[in-house]
Structure formats: structure tokens, C-alpha cells
Amino acid sequence: MKFGLGQFTLQIPPWDKRNHAQLYADTIELAQLAERVGFDSFWLAEHHGASDGYIPALLPFLSAVASKTERLEIGTAVMLAPFHDPLRVAEDTAVLDNISGGRLNLGLGLGWVPEEYRMFGVPTKGRGRRLEEFVEVLRLAWTGERFTYKGRMLSYEDVLIRPAPAHKIPIWLGGGTTPALERAARLADGHFPPSTGSPADGVQRAKEMLETRERLGVSGPYRSGMFSPIGIGADPNEGWSRIRDGLLHVRGAYALWGQGKLEVSHARDEAAQWEDAVRSGTIVGTPEQIVEALAPHLREMDSLGLEDAFFSAILAPPGTPFDVAAESIEAFGTKIIPALRG
């Protein structure tokens, strides 16, 4: 079992008085701290057109993280494929993988916010098929050899992408519908569930993916991961208080986008009605309590025979002060990870 940090969304809610230059610098420093205290990976999520500056460009930021770290894997969870050109993604990821020395993981998804599809002029019809072709094109492009591709949605004649990546970049797919799960089982190197799920949900989804692969006759190594919010404190109430506002801001922003509302300054208040549900999906308490809550699920995940499995802790949701985030990362890295590995 490996341990990640994130997903980071890099939103700025109203109570956070930093600008994005300051927030980005702080987050890169947090990634360096995570590497020092034993984390294995760092993950970013993507959205576009958000009034709070939800990060829209993952690869430039990950390049900065790669340049400041030596061992930490870096990943997208997820890059929204419909809003990107696959050849440019192939080029940019190959360059980033070389900068990082072969540490990149590429998670891809479809997105769901109508405003993003309108913003980029992308039709929603056929998007699942386009994602499949996107993956196929990436794999051809990363060989470093000339290729021709004729698909229903994408078509390229005698093109070359160089340099090739430094290593075989794992492609992760998300999604929870039956077509999405089958797509991930057939095409991806790994799958991760939504970050709203519990560790138990993550284990169950990993089992379902392995069963789906067997049903489809797909063999070979496979990966699985999960993202869960963690609040560390002297007791569960203090742990919740450290991440409450940031988690509610994220949940409220998603709800507002789903309603077609683009201004999210009041997202925390919007989500207050769901606070009990959000808290119930969050693991909070002392390091010892968090280890007790996580250990059985991570042991079960480890027993599934996956090539690679990770648990990623959301410790610093939007608006978390730098010192609070750093304290939580250090506590998770020095107290929780060793106990879970032991």
C-alpha cells in the first residue's frame, strides 16, 4: 500500500486572503514536506471557469512539483479529457515525465459540469467513445514512433510525438457508471472511485473492477486507488474543525455548478445543509483513531493482488492555512503512515 496527498483543487474561498501565486508556492512547499515525511504521491484535480480559481492547468503545476522533489510520484485525478487535444497531451506528458524522471500518473475523466462543455464548445454526445480513442491515441503517441490512427471521433495521418516518456505512464480512469467501469477495466492501467466514497467503498470498487476485468476476459496487472478526507486533531471534533470549511466549500461549489450557477463565494453556506453527510464521509480524530479506522480497509485492499494500490489523504482542502496543512501532513507522514505500514 502506498500513500498519497490530495487531490488538491487550489480553490480560494472567501476567507483565504492569499492570491494564487501565494497559494501555489505554499502548495509546492507542502509537496516537498510530504516527500520528506514519507508520502509516495501528490495529486491534483481539474475544473474550468470556476470563480474561485479551481486549477484548470494540471501539467504546468505538476512540472513545478517535479522540479522541487526527487521521489514523489505526481498525478492527475483527473484531467478532463474532453477539453484537451490528445496530441498536445501526449507531448506535454512526455516532457513532464522526462522532467520528473518517470514519476507521472495520468488520470483521465469526462467531467460533468455543463458550463465547461459550453465554454470549450464540446458536445456531450459521443464523449465516452472519444475518451476511449483519446487513450488509444496516447498509447500510440508515447511509443515515439510514427503512427496513423483512424477512429470515429479522432483521426491522425502519419504523425510523430517525441520525446517518448521516460517510463510507461500509467493511465487511470475514473467514473462510476457501468460503461465507465467497463471502459476502465478494458483500457486503463488503473481505476479510482470518486473522492466522496469511504475507504470501504474504495475496497469494494477495487473488487468490482477486478471482477469486471475477469468477466470481460481482460488479464494482466491492475492498479487501484482511493481519496478520502482526513481531519487530524486532539479529538474527532477538533479534527473535523480543521477541514470542515474547506470540504463544505468544495461540496457546495459542485452543487452550485450542477445548478448552473458559476459564482461560488457562498459555497460553504450552500453545503451547510449537508454537513452531517459530509462529516460522515470524513475520517477524523487522533492519529491513533485514524489508524484504527483505516487499517482493516487498507489490509483488505493489500490482499487483492493489485499491482499497485494507494490511499490518498485529503488533508488540506481549500482555505486551509499553510501552518495547519503542514502540521496535518507531518502528523500523517510521521505517525499514521508508519503505523499503517507496520
pLDDT at 89: 98
Number of helices followed by number of strands (H, E) in the chain: 13, 11
- The pLDDT tens digits of the residues spanning 314-338 come to 999 999 999 999 999 999 999 999 9
In a domain, 250, yes or no: no
| pTM listed for this prediction | 0.97
Query: Tell me, what's the pLDDT at 15?
Result: 98
pLDDT reported for residue 193: 82
Q: Answer whether residue 101 is part of any domain.
A: yes
Measured distance CA(96)–CA(187) in Å, rounded: 22
Separation CA 61–CA 249 (nearest Å): 22
Do 79 and 89 contact (CB within 8 A), yes or no? Answer: yes
pLDDT at 176: 81
Task: Please state, for a pLDDT cut of 70, what percent of the chain lies above it.
Answer: 100
Residue 64 lies in a domain: yes
In a domain, 275, yes or no: no
DSSP run (H or E) holding 62: helix 58-68
The pLDDT, as a whole number, for residue 92 is: 98
pLDDT band at 120 (very low <50, low <70, confident <90, very high): very high
* Domains in the chain, number: 1
State the angle between helix axes of 199-216 and 287-302 in degrees (0 to 180), rounded to the nearest 10: 10
pLDDT digits (tens, 9 = 90+) for 137-163: 999 999 999 999 999 999 999 999 999
Residue 197 has pLDDT above 90, yes or no: no
The yes-or-no verdict on residue 195 having pLDDT over 90 is no
pLDDT score of 308: 94
Contact 208, 177 (CB under 8 A): no
In a domain? residue 259: no
105: which strand partners? Answer: 75
pLDDT value at position 273? 97
Count other Cβ atoms within 10 Å, centred on residue 159.
14
**Alpha-carbon radius of gyration of the chain:** 19
Start-end of H helices in 142-286: 178-187, 199-216, 236-258, 267-271, 275-280
CA angle 134, 135, 138 (to 5 degrees): 85
Average pLDDT score over residue span 307-316: 97
pLDDT (0 to 100) of residue 175: 83
Q: Looking at residues 211-223, what average pLDDT do you find?
A: 96
Predicted confidence (pLDDT) at residue 196 exceeds the cutoff of 80:
no
Q: Could you tell me if 191 and 181 are in contact, meaning their C-beta atoms sit under 8 angstroms apart? A: yes
pLDDT, position 177: 85
Residue pLDDT, tens place only, 43-55: 999 999 999 999 9
> Is 31:68 a contact under the CB 8 Å cutoff?
yes
Q: Which residues contact 321 (CB under 8 A, 6 or more apart)?
A: none
Res. 194: pLDDT tops 80: no
Does residue 297 sit within a domain? yes
Q: Is residue 150 part of a domain?
A: yes
Asked if the model's pLDDT at residue 253 lies above 80, the reply is yes
CATH of the domain at 71: 3.20.20.30
- CA 112 from chain centre, in angstroms, equals 15
Which domain does 223 fall in, by range?
Answer: 2-242+282-341
In a domain, 271, yes or no: no
pLDDT score, position 231:
98
CA 21 – CA 36 distance, rounded (Å)? 23
Mean pLDDT of the chain: 96
Q: In Å, how far are 42, 238, 326 from 77, measured between CA atoms? A: 10, 28, 22
Which of the residue ranges 57-61, 105-109, 179-183 would you say has the lowest mean pLDDT? 179-183
Strand boundaries in the chain, DSSP class E: 2-8, 41-44, 73-80, 104-109, 147-150, 155-159, 171-173, 190-191, 223-232, 283-285, 308-314
C-alpha cell, 176: 462510476
Q: How far is CA 48 from the centre of its chain?
A: 15
Q: Give the per-residue pLDDT at 174.
A: 87
Q: Is the pLDDT of residue 181 over 80?
A: yes
Distance CA(107)–CA(170), nearest Å, equals: 8
Per residue in 263-275, pLDDT (tens digit) is 999 999 999 999 9
